[in-house]
């Protein structure tokens, strides 16, 4: 079968490899649609933590079930998705139901090979029913679940001002679920086109360009002087993460969904006097996946508006590098297996 391998940072190669066989406790799936995310782009750049080469990328997937051992509720031919974070089931995090941050977690396309291939073997317990959603929608469930999990971590309450730093695909999902939770969303980004997308497609009227010299003054004006009680980073930028500590209200929660290789730093006196809460948000749980699918079925979100670029699998090697250029306006690139 045909597979696309990221051999080293900046390099892809198509390779022929054997089709995987069904093994006990696993499911064999045929890849139908692949969403390209920031993790894939960072891996290609060589800036993704927890990463080694060579690696087959891809974890935002719509798949067709071929056969399964241990998944009696699923039928061959069913179009589904799966949770691409494979957990051990017995560590301290798993025992607490926090399978998303398992001690020995293996994420498809990051720690182990992922979905830029024709067929893939995955744990049968990771399968998620497609509920009749399209392959585009199913390939977007995983990134939306990341946003849903971040909002759940933040405990967003109706009426709260929620500042989302970063208007890429993950940030857009965070905005959607913050809105669903009843929050008043403020979008902050350096890219004016992305801010315009937030206003025009997501109905987020409160947007701020991070390059403005008066970001704090604008936040005070929007929040009547209080500042946001929830700040969520979706950039992975060290500078953005460090700067956003200044955007918190007293008593605020700051959630880091974005991931950075280096150390973050902040003024402890300023953080302390706010009695602020800092937390990370890693991956998502089955409950988050199920919330996303319900939201899609109920029409609360239309994520297909995020798709700005489409290519067939055979074009990925030539097109991928261009998706890193902000001038090309990529929000979500979608790869179709043909």
Distance CA 250, CA 271 (A): 9
Residue 272 lies in a domain: yes
**Does position 304 have pLDDT exceeding 90, yes or no?**
no
**What is the CATH classification number for the domain harbouring 184?**
3.40.50.720
Residue 263 included in any domain: yes
Residue indicated by tokens 């959630």: 255
Q: Are strands 79-82 and 85-86 parallel, antiparallel or unpaired?
A: unpaired
Residue listed under structure tokens 């798709």:
307
CATH of the domain at 124: 3.90.180.10
Quote the pLDDT of residue 254.
98
Please name which of 212, 248, 205 lies closest in space to residue 230, comparing C-alpha atoms: 248
Contacts of residue 196, Cβ cutoff 8 Å, sequence gap at least 6: none
Q: How confident is the model at residue 338 (pLDDT cuts 50, 70, 90)?
A: confident
pLDDT over threshold 90, residue 317: yes
Query: Range of 179's domain?
Result: 147-280
111/209 same-domain check = no
Q: How much is the average pLDDT of 3-26?
A: 95
Chain centre to alpha carbon of residue 50: 16
| 276 and 189 in a common domain | yes
Same domain, 173 and 101: no
Output Rg (C-alpha) for the chain, integer angstroms: 20
Number of domains in the chain: 2
- pLDDT number for residue 48: 75
Residue 141 in domain = no
Q: What is the pLDDT of residue 272?
A: 97
pLDDT mean over 260-282 = 95
Q: Do 156 and 123 sit in the same domain of this protein? A: no
Does residue 6 sit in the same domain as residue 51? yes
Looking at the structure, tell me whether residues 211 and 317 fall in a common domain.
no
The pLDDT-based confidence of 308 (bands split at 50, 70, 90) is very high
Q: Is residue 291 part of a domain?
A: no
Distance separating alpha carbons of residues 203 and 187, to the nearest angstrom = 11
Check whether 50 has a pLDDT greater than 80.
Answer: no
| Residue 46 confidence (pLDDT) | 82
Q: What is the mean pLDDT of residues 180-203?
A: 96
Let me know whether 266 and 322 are in one domain.
Answer: no
70 Ramachandran zone, left/alpha/beta (phi>0; psi -120 to 50): left
pLDDT tens digit string along 204-254?
999 999 999 999 999 999 999 999 999 999 998 999 999 999 999 999 999
What's the average model confidence in pLDDT over 150-179? 97
In this structure, the strands spanning 230-233 and 161-165 are parallel
Pairing of strands 332-336, 307-312: parallel
Query: Which one has a higher pLDDT value, 151 or 260?
Result: 151
């Amino acid at each position: 079968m045909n597979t696309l391998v990221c051999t080293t940072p900046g390099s892809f190669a198509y390779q022929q490899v054997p089709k995987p066989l069904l093994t006990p406790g696993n499911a064999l799936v045929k890849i139908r649609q692949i969403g390209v995310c920031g993790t894939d782009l960072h891996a290609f750049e060589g800036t993704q933590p927890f990463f080694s080469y060579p690696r087959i990328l891809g974890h935002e997937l719509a798949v067709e079930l071929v056969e399964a051992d241990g998944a009696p509720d699923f039928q061959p031919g069913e179009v589904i998705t799966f949770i691409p974070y494979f957990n051990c089931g017995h560590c301290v995090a798993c025992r607490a139901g926090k399978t998303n941050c398992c001690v020995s977690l293996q994420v498809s396309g990051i720690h182990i090979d992922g979905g830029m291939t024709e067929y893939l073997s995955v744990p049968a317990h990771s399968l998620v029913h497609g509920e009749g959603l399209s392959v585009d929608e199913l390939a977007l469930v995983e990134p939306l679940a990341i946003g849903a999990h971040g909002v759940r971590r933040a405990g967003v309450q109706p009426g709260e001002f929620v500042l989302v730093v970063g208007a890429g695909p993950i940030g857009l999902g965070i905005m959607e679920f913050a809105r669903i939770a009843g929050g008043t969303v403020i979008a902050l980004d350096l890219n004016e086109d992305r801010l315009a997308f937030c206003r025009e497609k997501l109905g987020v009227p409160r947007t701020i360009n991070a390059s403005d010299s008066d970001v704090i003054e604008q936040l005070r004006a929007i929040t009547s002087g209080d500042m946001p009680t929830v700040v969520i980073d979706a950039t992975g930028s060290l500078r953005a993460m460090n700067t956003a500590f200044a955007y918190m209200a007293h008593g605020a929660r700051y959630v880091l969904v974005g991931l950075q290789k280096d150390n973050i730093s902040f003024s402890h006196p300023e953080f302390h006097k706010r009695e602020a809460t800092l937390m990370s948000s890693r991956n998502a749980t089955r409950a988050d996946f199920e919330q996303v699918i319900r939201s899609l079925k109920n029409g609360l979100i239309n994520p297909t508006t995020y798709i700005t670029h489409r290519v067939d699998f055979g074009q990925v090697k030539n097109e991928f590098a261009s998706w890193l250029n902000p001038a090309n306006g990529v929000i979500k690139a979608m790869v179709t297996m043909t």
